[in-house]
Chain A
């Protein structure tokens, strides 16, 4: 039993060390998900926590559009079965500006970044929440940008861009995201 006693002391010391170190620790061992699942889940939450000036009529769908190739490897599809504010969600692939009517959210494939300035012109005056995952999207006038920070997904928000499109991103998201550009009054 002597050996056990010694080990017990070591364990107690370790436990103490853990408790002392703990406050500095980050909350960890959270969920572990594939990157596309995290992004898809966040897109859904963007729909939940953004206010559109003219929400779709009851019975109409909230349309999530993907510009360019769908990078979600099929993980976006299950969102179509869900609802937001009692409206069903529809996923639509779009490749041309004239297909943008009705889009509530537009995800732009990172490979389409070269087309973003032109696309942005077309979106002027429309209340479409724009999202992409290439570095610099929010700086370039996009509204929400996914960024990979260490092994997590972070979001950068260009609040001014959202407000100029008459979109109100709720505080719950703002608190979790980092804000790019000046926050409009």
Chain B
């Protein structure tokens, strides 16, 4: 159903019949291989929460279930996202990742919207996600829905190239105790503890605490890259049925994270540029409440509100932000052939910064208000045909009204489905682009001048939204109960992409300096991208399954040439042209599961990064019904390789092989 907790609405309206159970929650489990004890202990999934609708969704969507995540043997959300076909996950250092889909990857990737339980986790400062503070315990995640392509008609700005929707388990599904301890060479140590209980017949709760420490990666030149990472996190969730028709969820988290990196820090006095170890401290908390009411006639009303506080402190900038968000939506009872959903949203976000020599702004405090509405109608045209029309209307302080419509048509046949879509989406300007002045580099005075020379990124108040029109075609087929495939073709046309346009050299006061290259962000670049994403899922035997995926991406950017702009077409070389993965799942015995995954990622010419093949292996051994031991090796094929580079990050790190063990006890 609803955006908050479920498969996105585009995808809603689960119909009876249609696709078989291939995509049901725990597909790796064969009920006939289970003992009576296991079956009696098994929890019944209520159909409303199963992602069965995925196979009916007229969008390029994939779902990572809790079982997928556990069997991948990963320790973070970004690493889990590698499993999603067509998603480009590149690790920068121990605590940093660049994640995108369908191109435009960057350490500041800004075309992907990420939500945890309906809470947007991108930071309005740069319209991207700080992955180093998104470390919800993986054991609490019920599933991750990944939509490639625009989800803007429902989700709004920044859902340009995709939406990642992370959904945690209901408190009812995490009753009892869980303690999980991890130790290894990179994963120095991690501990997660959780306890869940019930109050009365209708309410459940859980609390959790988690902490971990990871080592730094290694610089190309040797030595550590200062990205050692330690974090602590705690939180709770309660789910209560207030009545047969009313459900209330209240949840919250607090966290603290410490990591770092090497950075070239420009200064206006000698030596003008210092290579410094930069510490990054981030902390925050959030509190969210969601109420859902089902009406007799079939309508469903949901209201969600959250409050989110973050603080991030690094050498270049300290930023404190508070966000308040209220979202109300109503799913109308089906009326004839129409299934209508509509919603409204209000968000208020404000941050305070501590300016430094290299980053300045006209004001220490910035606020932004967003009012938006969406409406979507899914129309059953004929028994096999369905048309989905929707649009989002955003009103922001920076760009005024933005209309983001989409049209989706689908045909559903026997064990197969085809769909096509045309959508418009925008990426709205970030605070950083509009308000801030950055000194990117500094140098000594050029005689006869006596003031230092700089290269600077100036505030760009005229920078407008980037725009995408996307054309997609998809086809899915369930050949047999054990063999399924999914293929998507897309053609994206971007206009007004951010461009670092150079301006004439100029003097500046306060402090006095000569800006030899002033840069302003303009909307001067356009692009066309084409791609294919294919996925095959084959259960070869009851206890052995294979999932293969391949994605191809061709990017063609057209921007102003140098010296009018800096690297306006660089994005072409920042996302891999070819990506592939092969997952092998083998239940060797009732208690022993062995999983291996190969990833191939093409080279990134812009960063001079070679193609690499990565192999991860997990051996999971259920020692007793309540204790499980896992041994995991990541990057087993090479002892180190580079995956990405962060701008301003002085030294590219190499991602090293990692071996760890994890012991989990459930009581």
Write the residues of chain A forming the contact surface with B, with a CB cutoff of 8 angstroms: 1, 3-4, 7-8, 10-11, 14-15, 17-19, 21-23, 25-35, 37-38, 40-42, 44-45, 49, 73-75, 78-79, 82, 148, 151-155, 172-173, 176
- Give chain A residues whose Cβ lies under 8 Å from the Cβ of B35: 45
Cα of A176 to Cα of B42 in the assembled complex, Å: 13
- Give chain B residues whose Cβ lies under 8 Å from the Cβ of A151: 43-44, 46, 172
Nearest opposing residue in chain A for B140, CB measure: A29
Q: Residue A37 contacts which of B31, B36, B196, B666 (CB distance < 8 angstroms)?
A: B31
- Give chain A residues whose Cβ lies under 8 Å from the Cβ of B50: 34
- Distance in Å from the Cβ of B449 to the closest Cβ of chain A? 44
- Give chain B residues whose Cβ lies under 8 Å from the Cβ of A23: 667
Cα of A87 to Cα of B162 in the assembled complex, Å: 51
Main SS of chain B's interface residues? mixed
User: Is B296 part of the contact surface with A, judged by Cβ < 8 Å?
Assistant: no
- Give chain A residues whose Cβ lies under 8 Å from the Cβ of B174: 28-29
> Which of B20, B29, B177, B209 has the most CB atoms of chain A within a 10 A radius of its CB?
B177
User: Is B441 part of the contact surface with A, judged by Cβ < 8 Å?
Assistant: no
Nearest opposing residue in chain A for B178, CB measure: A29
Q: Mark B21-37, 1 if CB is under 8 A from A, else 0.
A: 10011100111101111
- Give chain A residues whose Cβ lies under 8 Å from the Cβ of B193: 11, 14-15, 18
Nearest opposing residue in chain A for B24, CB measure: A34
Asked if B175 contacts A172 (CB within 8 A), the reply is no
Q: Residue A27 contacts which of B39, B176, B210 (CB distance < 8 angstroms)?
A: B176
> Which of A4, A40, A154 has the most CB atoms of chain B within a 10 A radius of its CB?
A4
- Distance in Å from the Cβ of A49 to the closest Cβ of chain B? 7
- Give chain A residues whose Cβ lies under 8 Å from the Cβ of B633: none
The 7 closest A-B pairs by CB, nearest first: A28-B176, A41-B31, A14-B209, A25-B176, A7-B232, A37-B31, A22-B177
What are 21 A-B pairs at a CB distance below 8 A?
A: A3-B256, A3-B283, A7-B232, A11-B191, A11-B210, A11-B234, A14-B193, A18-B179, A23-B667, A27-B626, A28-B174, A28-B666, A29-B174, A29-B176, A29-B666, A30-B42, A33-B43, A45-B36, A151-B44, A154-B40, A176-B37
Asked if B667 contacts A27 (CB within 8 A), the reply is yes
Cα of A37 to Cα of B27 in the assembled complex, Å: 11
Asked if B21 contacts A27 (CB within 8 A), the reply is no
Cα of A4 to Cα of B232 in the assembled complex, Å: 7
Cα of A35 to Cα of B42 in the assembled complex, Å: 9
Asked if B256 contacts A10 (CB within 8 A), the reply is no
Nearest opposing residue in chain B for A49, CB measure: B36
Interface residues contributed by chain B, number (CB under 8 Å): 57
Asked if B191 contacts A15 (CB within 8 A), the reply is yes
Q: Mark B231-262, 1 if CB is under 8 A from A, else 0.
A: 01010000000000000000000001010000
A25-B40 CB under 8 A given contacts A3-B256, A17-B195, A38-B31: no
Asked if A22 contacts B42 (CB within 8 A), the reply is no
- Give chain A residues whose Cβ lies under 8 Å from the Cβ of B38: 30-31
Using a Cβ cutoff of 8 Å, how many contacts connect chains A and B? 167
User: Is B658 part of the contact surface with A, judged by Cβ < 8 Å?
Assistant: no
User: Is B559 part of the contact surface with A, judged by Cβ < 8 Å?
Assistant: no
- Distance in Å from the Cβ of A12 to the closest Cβ of chain B? 9
User: Is B459 part of the contact surface with A, judged by Cβ < 8 Å?
Assistant: no
- Give chain A residues whose Cβ lies under 8 Å from the Cβ of B256: 3-4, 7
Asked if A79 contacts B32 (CB within 8 A), the reply is yes
Asked if A38 contacts B44 (CB within 8 A), the reply is yes
A14-B207 CB under 8 A given contacts A29-B139, A32-B42, A32-B173: yes
Cα of A154 to Cα of B178 in the assembled complex, Å: 24
Asked if B26 contacts A32 (CB within 8 A), the reply is yes
User: Is B625 part of the contact surface with A, judged by Cβ < 8 Å?
Assistant: yes
Q: Residue A18 contacts which of B25, B36, B195, B232 (CB distance < 8 angstroms)?
A: B195
Asked if B45 contacts A33 (CB within 8 A), the reply is yes
Asked if A32 contacts B43 (CB within 8 A), the reply is yes
Asked if A78 contacts B176 (CB within 8 A), the reply is no
- Give chain B residues whose Cβ lies under 8 Å from the Cβ of A35: 44-45
- Give chain A residues whose Cβ lies under 8 Å from the Cβ of B481: 78
Give me 18 other A-B pairs in contact (C-beta within 8 A), A23-B667, A26-B176, A176-B36 excluded.
A14-B209, A21-B195, A25-B177, A25-B197, A27-B626, A28-B176, A29-B173, A29-B176, A31-B29, A32-B42, A34-B25, A35-B45, A38-B39, A41-B31, A42-B40, A45-B36, A152-B42, A154-B40
- Give chain A residues whose Cβ lies under 8 Å from the Cβ of B232: 4, 7-8, 10-11
User: Is B508 part of the contact surface with A, judged by Cβ < 8 Å?
Assistant: no
Asked if B209 contacts A11 (CB within 8 A), the reply is yes
Asked if B195 contacts A27 (CB within 8 A), the reply is no
User: Is B211 part of the contact surface with A, judged by Cβ < 8 Å?
Assistant: yes
Nearest opposing residue in chain A for B254, CB measure: A7
Nearest opposing residue in chain B for A27, CB measure: B626
- Distance in Å from the Cβ of B384 to the closest Cβ of chain A? 21
Cα of A10 to Cα of B26 in the assembled complex, Å: 34
> Which of A10, A23, A30, A32 has the most CB atoms of chain B within a 10 A radius of its CB?
A32
> Which of B20, B211, B667 has the most CB atoms of chain A within a 10 A radius of its CB?
B667
Asked if B175 contacts A28 (CB within 8 A), the reply is yes
Asked if B40 contacts A176 (CB within 8 A), the reply is yes
